[in-house]
Amino acid sequence: GAGVSQTPSNKVTEKGKYVELRCDPISGHTALYWYRQSLGQGPEFLIYFQGTGAADDSGLPNDRFFAVRPEGSVSTLKIQRTERGDSAVYLCASSTSGQGTDTQYFGPGTRLTVL
Amino acid sequence: AQSVTQLDSQVPVFEEAPVELRCNYSSSVSVYLFWYVQYPNQGLQLLLKYLSGSTLVESINGFEAEFNKSQTSFHLRKPSVHISDTAEYFCAVSGNAGNMLTFGGGTRLMVKP
């Protein structure tokens, strides 16, 4: 079946602009996660959705970052007033129910470059 | 809070040689342990995971990892590597209290002919 998909695969923007990154999880997965992977580092947790609600947003670095999942499937990560330090690969993952034992399935990521 | 340390950022090894990628974690609660692999130009894929029971877990492509609670380690091993094993390997933990994964910094395995 189809895996997790993310669009766009690459996004180049200028400092100060607004960007939206989209994630399509595996059909039927209620849990959805966003991570950020900077060059040479492991992924870092940003936010976790259970259904439509953000169950844990403790990883969002500041209030420029916001994410939604209005219908419990597709999610959008929104970054306002982008900064060069936001440049990274943004990863989305989904799992069946959000239990700690679940396997998280990752998308290919969106590479964001802020000039 | 949880943390994961992968002691080696790069591990070069010749084809058919054995390899061990080290992973240590710290956590105040019980954890579940995962190894993910990222092949060049591909997304993260689960390699294997430890949830409970037997401390030795295996993957379908010959990797194994052993959970050692006393040493808080979950090292990944393979007795004979192939060129196709060249990839970045990430160790990660999750816990009951938080469902997110906490990743180590990754180990780049470079298999040379």
User: Tens digits of per-residue pLDDT, A19-73?
Assistant: 999 999 999 999 999 999 999 899 999 999 999 998 899 999 999 999 999 999 9
Q: How confident is the model at residue B30 (pLDDT cuts 50, 70, 90)?
A: confident
Q: Which two tokens stand for residue B50?
A: 């430890």
Contact yes or no for A19/A60 (Cβ under 8 A): no
> b vs e for B60-69, b when ≥16 Cβ sit within 10 Å of the residue's Cβ?
eeebebebee
Q: Nearest CA to CA, how far is A98 from chain B (Å)?
A: 6
CB atoms within 10 A of CB B71: 10
Q: How confident is the model at residue A101 (pLDDT cuts 50, 70, 90)?
A: confident
Does the pLDDT value for residue A1 go beyond 70? no
Q: Say which residue, B63 or A97, is predicted with more confidence.
A: B63
State residue B1's pLDDT score: 77
Chain B residues with a Cβ under 8 Å from any Cβ in chain A? 4, 6, 9, 32, 34, 36, 42-46, 49, 51, 90, 92, 94-96, 98-106
Confidence band of B96 (pLDDT split at 50, 70, 90):
low
Give the number of other Cβ atoms within 10 Å of residue B38's Cβ.
Answer: 19
Mean pLDDT over each residue of chain B, to the nearest integer: 92
| Alpha-carbon distance values, B45 to A9, B40, B81, B110 (Å) | 18, 12, 18, 18
Helix (H, G, I), strand (E, B) or coil at A44: strand
Q: In which band, very low, low, confident or very high, does the pLDDT at A99 lie, cut at 50, 70 and 90?
A: confident
Instruction: Please report the residues numbered 46 through 75 in chain A whose beta carbons come closer than 8 angstroms to any beta carbon of chain B.
Output: 48, 55-56, 59
**Is a pLDDT exceeding 90 seen at residue B101?**
yes
* pLDDT score, position B4: 95
Pick the residue with more confidence: B50 or B41?
B50
Cβ pair B34, B101 in contact under 8 A: yes
For residue B27, name the pLDDT band (cuts at 50, 70, 90).
Answer: confident
Which of B44, B60, B61 lies closest to A106 in space, CA to CA?
B44
For chain A, what percent of residues have pLDDT higher than 70?
99
Is it the case that residue B54 has pLDDT exceeding 90? no
Which residue on chain A is closest to B33 by alpha carbon?
A: A101
> Which residue in chain A is spatially nearest to B9 when comparing CA positions?
A40
Buried b (16+ CB within 10 A) or exposed e, A34-51: bbbbeeeebbbbbbbbbe
Band of pLDDT at residue B41, cut at 50, 70 and 90: confident
Closest CA to A19 of A81, A91, A75: A81
Burial environment of residue B99 by CB neighbours within 10 A (0 to 12, 13 to 18, 19 or more): buried
Mapped onto helix, strand or coil, the DSSP state of residue A71 is coil
Distance CA A111, CA A92 (A): 12
Cα A31 to Cα A79: distance, rounded to the nearest angstrom: 21
Residue pointed to by tokens 């390899």: B19
pLDDT at residue B98 greater than cutoff 60: no
A40 shares contact with chain B (CB less than 8 Å): yes
